[in-house]
Amino acid sequence: MNAAAFHVLFYAVIAAASPLVLTATFVVIRSERPRANGIAFLTGFLLGTAIACAIGLIIGQAAVERLGSHATIEAALTLALGLVLLMLGWRARGTLSKPVTARSSRGAAIMEGLRHVRPAAAFSMAGLLGFGGPKRLLLTLLAMASVSGADYGHVVNLTLVVLYIGVASVLVWVPVGIVIVAGERAVVILGKGEFWLTAHARELRVWVSLGFGAVLVGDALLRLFA
């Protein structure tokens, strides 16, 4: 169980480290309806993540039944993801010395749209973010593969799934929770966080990609050649 729990937590931390998700959360909780939109956004994000986990468990269980063990495939996918992150981070390093340009019109439109959404729209958009793009979805599938491969029983498996969802969603439920408890006072403080995050978004993307890419590659190599 220790190995499975470690890898579930490991993948969850990397999935959680998303400047885009944190920025979107800040924008939503500083919208015209901070509490209502925040709760809707959090609910949608958790639901999207849970759906991805359910799909991952189904795929993982099918792999166990067909292959008996899928540890090598899991390690190979981890290695591939780590190398992709390293490549993206390395390529993005060249942009750090360039002057900051205005956010792309598409990105600006999305963030501006989030400032005026209603709870239903916040829920839907968060559901897509929680389900994830390629990186987050693959991390979720890898985490659920670890759960399926360990198979310590329904209670332990469910605990590991809840652990993954909780950690992978930490950058959503913590800010939303602060707003729910503290109200308008928290919105002002979190606004400063959004400003800092926007100003340092490029650096964060680079170092998150390089740092977690290196860790993923190291973990995969240890499992392949141990």
| pLDDT values of the chain reduced to their tens digit, one per residue, 226 residues | 577 889 999 999 999 998 888 888 988 888 888 889 999 999 999 999 999 999 999 988 877 666 655 677 888 889 999 999 999 888 877 666 555 544 444 455 556 667 778 899 999 999 999 998 899 999 999 999 888 877 677 888 899 999 999 999 999 999 999 888 887 777 777 777 777 777 777 788 888 899 999 999 999 999 888 6
DSSP string for residues in 75-98: HHHHHHHHHHHHHHHHHHHTTTTS
Nearest to 132 by CA among 57, 21, 28, 209: 21
Instruction: Report the alpha-carbon distance of residue 99 to residue 38 in Å, rounded.
Output: 33
Q: Could you give the dihedral angle defined by the CA atoms of residues 24, 191, 30 and 17, in that order, rounded to the nearest 10 degrees?
A: 20
What predicted TM-score, i.e. pTM, was given to this entire model? 0.85
Tell me the CB-side half-sphere exposure of residue 95, using CA atoms within 13 A.
15
Please check whether residue 176 is in contact with residue 31, taking contact to mean a CB–CB distance below 8 angstroms: no
